[in-house]
Amino acid sequence: MSVVELARPVETPRATPKGPRRRVTAWHRWLSPLALLVIWQIASATGLLPERLLAAPATIASTAVELTQAGTLPTAIGVSLQRVLIGFLVGGAAGILLALAAGLSRAGENAVDPIMQALRALPFFGLIPLFILWFGIGEEPKILLVALAVSFPLYLNTFSGIRGVDGKLAEVAKTLKLSRGQLIRHIVLPGALPQTLVGLRQALGVAWLALIVAEQVNATTGLGYMINDAREFLRTDVIVVGLLVYSALGLATDAIVRLLERRALAWRRGFLA
Amino acid sequence: MATRLSGVARAFGDRVVLDSLDLELRDGEFTALLGRSGSGKSTLLRALAGLDDEVTGAIDVTDSVAVAFQEPRLVPWKRLLANITLGLDAPADKAKAALAEVGLAERSDAWPLTLSGGEAQRASLARALVREPELLLLDEPFSALDALTRITIHQLVLELWARHRPAVLLVTHDVDEALLLADRVLVLDEGRIAHDISITAERPRHREDPALVTLRNTLLAALGVSPEGRS
């Protein structure tokens, strides 16, 4: 009997409509995280997991509400967002401009690329002591650390994007008698864009990482300060809220880039579909 | 202005591909360039298109040259209409007319990657012709198309040529294609034009036309292929 069933595999699985099956699968994916939350809550409630190590999920949720109502959390988020934004803009502009300089001419490549490759090898978190000596403990070292972290992925990706533009299209540009400016505007830059967007996503990831590290150093405002301050008072609930906000902000900025990608790379969709 | 080449030479390392080649292409004439694989057909075309900086000799060619390559080479991030007008100051309706001429009026907003091979190749022809070239260079533009599409595009190219009358240089390895389309067939061998044959048969032509059958055998022999198979 079983041999006959195996011989007719088409009838069984395909009979189930796709939609409901998918929804069931999606629902299944929530089960294990939920179970983990429940176990965590029970462990906290029974004293198995002491609050000075990790607060209970329910406590964390109510702390998040309290911090929001008191204005502490929104202010901290505002300060941290501002640091990331300014650092990102400064570093992004620097990375892309350097990539254009290096990508569009051999002389530019010889001038810029060796320096960038050498600097890239530096562990940039190791620069914090120097940054503190140079810029003190105010906003500048934090913003600059973010800027530095952001500039490398954007530089590297944009540079390789420019160099990776199809030489056959450059020939077309020549036969269509495009000027150098037109070649850059119509062929080189749009051709490099997909790779630049990859760099943008990497840059945003590393921007938040740099911010977290920078905010551990002598911050008096921002999410990092809120977390450090909470450590002094063993407030593990506040620490977890801070971490969750970091990851939510990271996911949100990533979603923005993905939206940007979908708009800017619409020409690829037909090819991906 | 006719196109004149004299003493044109090009070598890749030790391999001489073009060897003091002389050639004149007359205005409005449809010329096909045949040759064995590696005989330098495409090298010659690239020299005429100004894509080869290392070719030597006198190349006297009009500024008004357009090229359609083997792959359509549309710019994938520009919609069809923007591909046609790329690098031109021409108004959009002229480009739309060019698209209509190749039967793509409806697709002017399409992304190139959504086109079929035949559509993309027609768009590539429109992009070349909208520039109203005096010399149109075709680098095996039909070789990647399926047989049925190729027949319709052959017709289209003849129509467009009859209407716009550029001088055409078609590089191909397909003897039948050359016989169906061209006024004049050149065979490139050992870096020079080894044969220069005029075809006076009326268009539309048929493969079975006895005059063409004779020419086909001549050309195949010139290319070193025996039409009856190896003897």
pLDDT single digits (tens) A203-246: 999 999 999 888 887 788 999 999 999 999 999 999 999 999 99
* A14 or A125, which is more confident: A125
Q: Quick one: which of B51, B75, B182 has its CA closest to B123?
A: B75
Are the beta carbons of B112 and A168 separated by less than 8 Å? Answer: no
CA distances from B203 to B9, B29, B150, B159, B182 (A): 35, 14, 17, 11, 10
Q: Quick one: which of A227, A201, A202 has its CA closest to A214?
A: A227
Contact B176, B207 (CB under 8 A): yes
Chain A residue whose CA is closest to B75 = A169
pLDDT value of residue A1: 42
Query: Domain A60-266 carries which CATH code?
Result: 1.10.3720.10
The span from the CA of B120 to the CA of B72, in Å, is 6
pLDDT value of residue B103: 92
Contact B34, B223 (CB under 8 A): yes
How confident is the model over A106-128, as a mean pLDDT? 91
Segment holding B169, helix H or strand E: strand B167-171
Are the beta carbons of B127 and A191 separated by less than 8 Å? Answer: no
Rounded to the nearest 5 degrees, what angle is found at the Cα of A249, between the Cα atoms of A248 and A250? 90
Ramachandran assignment for B19, one of left (phi > 0), alpha (psi -120 to 50 degrees), beta (any other): beta
3-state secondary structure of A154: helix
The pLDDT of residue A154 is above 50: yes
Residues of A within 8 A of B114 (CB-CB) are 270-271
Tokens of A41: 């809550």
The span from the CA of A187 to the CA of B81, in Å, is 16
Contact B192, B38 (CB under 8 A): no
The span from the CA of B107 to the CA of B120, in Å, is 11
Q: Which pLDDT tens digit goes with each residue over A75-112? A: 999 999 999 999 999 999 999 999 999 999 999 999 99
Question: What's the half-sphere exposure (Cβ side, CA atoms, 13 Å) at B53?
Answer: 2
Q: Which of B62, B74, B77 to mutate: most A Cβ within 10 Å? A: B77
Contacting residues for A85 by C-beta, under 8 A, at least 6 apart: none
pLDDT value of residue A194: 94
Place of tokens 């990657």: B113
pLDDT value of residue B69: 95
The span from the CA of A147 to the CA of B56, in Å, is 51
pLDDT value of residue A11: 41
Contact A203, A153 (CB under 8 A): yes
**Nearest CA to CA, how far is A73 from chain B (Å)?**
43
The span from the CA of B112 to the CA of B120, in Å, is 7
pLDDT value of residue A14: 43
pLDDT value of residue A20: 53
Predicted confidence pLDDT, tens digits, chain B (231 residues): 689 999 999 999 999 999 999 999 999 999 999 999 889 999 999 999 999 999 999 999 999 999 999 999 999 999 999 999 999 887 788 899 999 999 999 999 999 999 999 999 999 999 999 999 999 999 999 988 888 888 989 999 999 999 999 999 999 999 999 999 999 999 999 999 999 999 998 888 988 899 899 999 999 999 988 766 544
pLDDT value of residue A238: 95
Q: Which of B42, B64, B75 to mutate: most A Cβ within 10 Å? A: B75
Strands B167-171, B30-35: pairing kind: parallel
Type of residue at A213: V
Any chain A CB within 8 A of the CB of B65?
yes
Contact B209, B226 (CB under 8 A): no
How confident is the model over A247-253, as a mean pLDDT? 93
| Contact residues, chain A to chain B, C-beta under 8 Å | 168-169, 171-178, 182, 186-187, 190-191, 193, 266-271
Mean pLDDT, all residues of chain A: 88
Contact A124, A147 (CB under 8 A): no
Type of residue at A39: I
Are the beta carbons of B75 and A168 separated by less than 8 Å? Answer: no
How confident is the model over A148-152, as a mean pLDDT? 94
Are the beta carbons of A186 and B78 separated by less than 8 Å? Answer: yes
Ramachandran assignment for B201, one of left (phi > 0), alpha (psi -120 to 50 degrees), beta (any other): beta
Q: Please, what are the domains in chain B?
A: 26-53+64-222 (3.40.50.300)
| CA-derived radius of gyration, chain B | 18
The span from the CA of A108 to the CA of A91, in Å, is 19
Q: Which among A172, A267, A268 has the least Cβ separation from residue B73?
A: A172
Are the beta carbons of B111 and A267 separated by less than 8 Å? Answer: yes
Residues of B within 8 A of A271 (CB-CB) are 76, 113-114
Percent of chain B past pLDDT 70, that is, above it, reads 97
